[in-house]
Structure 1
Amino acid sequence: MELAEIPVLSLATGRDTLPRDIGESFRRFGFAMVRDHGIDADLVARAWAQTRAFFDLPEAEKRGYFLPGLAGARGYTPFRTEIAKGASVHDLKEFWHVGRDLPPGHPLAGSMPPNIWPARPEGFRETFTRLYAEFDRVGAELLSAIAIDLGLAPDWFDPTIADGNSVLRLLHYPPVTSAEDGAIRAGAHEDINLITLLLGAEEAGLELLGKHGEWLSIAPPEGALVINIGDMLQRLTNHVLPSTTHRVRNPSGERAQHSRYSMPFFVHLRSDFVFHTLPQCIDATHPDRYPEPITADDYLQERLREIGLKA
């Protein structure tokens, strides 16, 4: 398997070189890798330990946190529920979602249900409330660099993601015992949101689809974030920044007997944000692909139906 030669960038460079470098990486791969993000290593270690402890709970206990009708927005989603858009078999994964807590009476509360929290493991709520806030901070910093690269003001995205519908997903891919129907851990897909920040890609399996139709493996250094463009940012930029197809393939040999864990943070717009293609991404050669406006929440609900989380 060929390795994707994605550069590892430093968030510490700030506005000196990061906007140019991350823009180049996104235009080439739809992906980037970022170190020096400042998320506390001890916090991340606790998060991994509690993720494993939660998914080790009895199936009946985990299913007690599955809330039908929420489209997986909060709490637990059972094994083989999600399906990649256009796929015929469901993914070999289970997951837990943490979202943004809004105050009572908030105008966006209708599109963002309150979090639910498991009784076990101890400290789960505190750990993932803190980690959510850290991912939220880093996501805003990365969007500032992206804004500069696009010729926008550094704070252009700030009001678009204020009280945004961002989600932290704790993912468990159990050992692969059999997949006679051709199922894999995560079928080939593109993310729905603006950008995704991923911890846990050190374990082999994450692959992106190259420009010539070849699958390329992604291997970040330990602790680095893998960042990718989602469909919402692709739409907003008229495909200047591409949302790249990716998957998590099944392991072979001895590794098939082991679980895989990862923690993606999906940075979302405010639910009431209305898409209008950025003018600087439109010209005579690249006409507007999306002349019809749509709200971020309507777009999200449409995509949730496509991936099997909503009827």
Structure 2
Amino acid sequence: MEIPVIDLTPYVDAVSGKFSCDELLHPELKTVCSEVSRILRETGALLVRDPRCSIEDNDRFIDMMERYFEQPEEVKRIHERPNQHYQVGSTPEGVETPRSMVDLEIQNTLQQLHKDHKPTMPTGPDLKSRYMWRIGDRPTKTQFQDLNSEHIFPEGFPEWKQVMDSWGFKMISTVEAVAEMAAIGFDLPKDSFTNLMKLGPHLLSPTGSDLGRHGEEGTVFAGYHYDINFLTIHYKSKFPGLSIWLRNGEKLEVKVPEGCLLIQVGKQLEWMTAGDCKAGMHEVVVTKSTLEAIKAAKKENRSLWRVSSTLFSNIASDAVLKPLGHFAKSPLSVNYPAMYAGDYFERELSVIKLNVGNGKVGA
């Protein structure tokens, strides 16, 4: 199965004022919105084209992050903030623990998967590095200060803020468009999700995987897991290796077409739809396709760091996470009790061994 590609241009044009507000109710636009919600529900993932996000923007970002990750470990260690649950600055490899190693419910689910669709089981913590950069305004008052802390600026990158903010805000705009379209498709008010995203701890979180050191087939950089945020968005990586699982349990190695972005459902969207949308499971592993890309990169003398342009969009920490609208009437809503998004987030960070600081959970 291939994931369909949705062109956001008609919707972006409509909400940017090129068309009247009445056109948002145009049957063709409503049909596209219904398609967005259907694909998210059935696959947990979505491919989109957004005219505001260009290949050049992504390339500039990836080039800078390759230079960052190529630095010596002792330089990057300065930017680590374990006391803030690694939710800002650098996270070294070997810290985050895949859910498949610690979550009994997921382990039980894995036993039911067909052998051809089982993930590559990790033997320890993820081998990926990460850098967390805040996108957007922060609340002036919050119960969850550690989840809403200030930036960490690495030395030697004068262009850092401009490149990170420029690319991060463009991807957030894409997420907001998809969130509005999904809400319309789910028969909710258009701003049901985006209102809760305001002042959320959105994170531009590129991962760095050193294929020069860990380039053997079967190496697990990110073990089988779901994302704990609202929607995750990525641009195409130079190195393949990301696989996702569809709702029916089918494993799919993702091939992102040129100029497209991949959206994945996170746990917060699952919560607000009472499980109608399920957080998508995925992994990043060195595959045969990765090996071919490594060979090409060596021939062209390019960086062997696999960098993802991942951005995690989030519901505001002090907002209440609960099933919305008609989803609250679902019999499954009892599995998704109302709680502060920040409490939920800290609980999840504790499971994957990132909540090691002064937070309320796992401290």
8 A contact 1:54–1:120 mirrored in 2: no
Aligned to 1:262: 308
8 A contact 2:224–2:282 mirrored in 1: yes
Q: Could you say what secondary structure the match of 1:69 adopts?
A: helix
For residues 176 and 213 of structure 1, what CA distance do their matches in structure 2 show? Answer: 32
Compare CA radii of gyration and give the structure with the larger one. 2
Is 1:90–2:135 an aligned residue pair? Answer: no
Q: TM-score of the superposition, structure 1-length normalised? A: 0.90
Is 1:13–2:10 an aligned residue pair? Answer: yes
Is 1:244–2:258 an aligned residue pair? Answer: no
Identify the match of residue 53 of structure 1 among 27, 47, 67.
67
For residues 352 and 51 of structure 2, what CA distance do their matches in structure 1 show? Answer: 31
Q: Could you say what secondary structure the match of 1:187 adopts?
A: strand
Q: Which runs of 5+ in 1 are unaligned?
A: none
Q: Could you say what secondary structure the match of 1:91 adopts?
A: coil
Q: Could you say what secondary structure the match of 1:234 adopts?
A: helix
CA change 1:55–1:287 in 2 (3 A) is: closer
Q: Could you say what secondary structure the match of 2:191 adopts?
A: coil
Q: Where is the helix percentage greater, Structure 1 or Structure 2?
A: 2
Aligned to 2:221: 185
8 A contact 2:234–2:262 mirrored in 1: yes
Aligned to 2:58: 44
For residues 5 and 99 of structure 2, what CA distance do their matches in structure 1 show? Answer: 30
8 A contact 1:100–1:163 mirrored in 2: no
Q: Which deviates more from structure 2 when the two are superposed, residues 10-19 or residues 29-38?
A: 10-19
8 A contact 1:209–1:216 mirrored in 2: yes
For residues 33 and 239 of structure 1, what CA distance do their matches in structure 2 show? Answer: 21
CA change 1:82–1:148 in 2 (3 A) is: same
Is 1:305–2:302 an aligned residue pair? Answer: no
Aligned to 2:171: 135
8 A contact 1:100–1:165 mirrored in 2: yes
After TM superposition, give the deviation of residue 178 of structure 1 in Å: 5.6
8 A contact 2:58–2:309 mirrored in 1: no
After TM superposition, give the deviation of residue 142 of structure 1 in Å: 1.1
For residues 187 and 347 of structure 2, what CA distance do their matches in structure 1 show? Answer: 30
For residues 176 and 262 of structure 2, what CA distance do their matches in structure 1 show? Answer: 15
Aligned to 1:76: 90
Q: Which amino acid aligns with 1:198?
A: H
Q: Which amino acid aligns with 1:269?
A: I
Is 1:280–2:326 an aligned residue pair? Answer: yes
Q: Which amino acid aligns with 2:141?
A: P
Q: Which amino acid aligns with 1:132?
A: G
CA RMSD of aligned residues (A): 2.3
For residues 100 and 20 of structure 1, what CA distance do their matches in structure 2 show? Answer: 29
After TM superposition, give the deviation of residue 162 of structure 1 in Å: 0.8
After TM superposition, give the deviation of residue 38 of structure 1 in Å: 1.1
After TM superposition, give the deviation of residue 20 of structure 1 in Å: 1.4
CA change 1:68–1:291 in 2 (3 A) is: closer
For residues 66 and 227 of structure 2, what CA distance do their matches in structure 1 show? Answer: 24
8 A contact 2:69–2:305 mirrored in 1: no
Q: TM-score of the superposition, structure 2-length normalised? A: 0.78
For residues 227 and 238 of structure 2, what CA distance do their matches in structure 1 show? Answer: 20
Q: Which deviates more from structure 2 when the two are superposed, residues 60-69 or residues 296-305?
A: 60-69
Q: Which runs of 5+ in 2 are unaligned?
A: 12-23, 102-122, 296-303, 357-363
For residues 193 and 59 of structure 1, what CA distance do their matches in structure 2 show? Answer: 28
Q: Which amino acid aligns with 1:72?
A: Y
Percent same amino acid among aligned pairs?
Answer: 24
After TM superposition, give the deviation of residue 84 of structure 1 in Å: 1.3
After TM superposition, give the deviation of residue 161 of structure 1 in Å: 0.8
Deviations 1:121-146 (A, max 9, x none): 33011110222221222211111001
8 A contact 2:210–2:306 mirrored in 1: yes
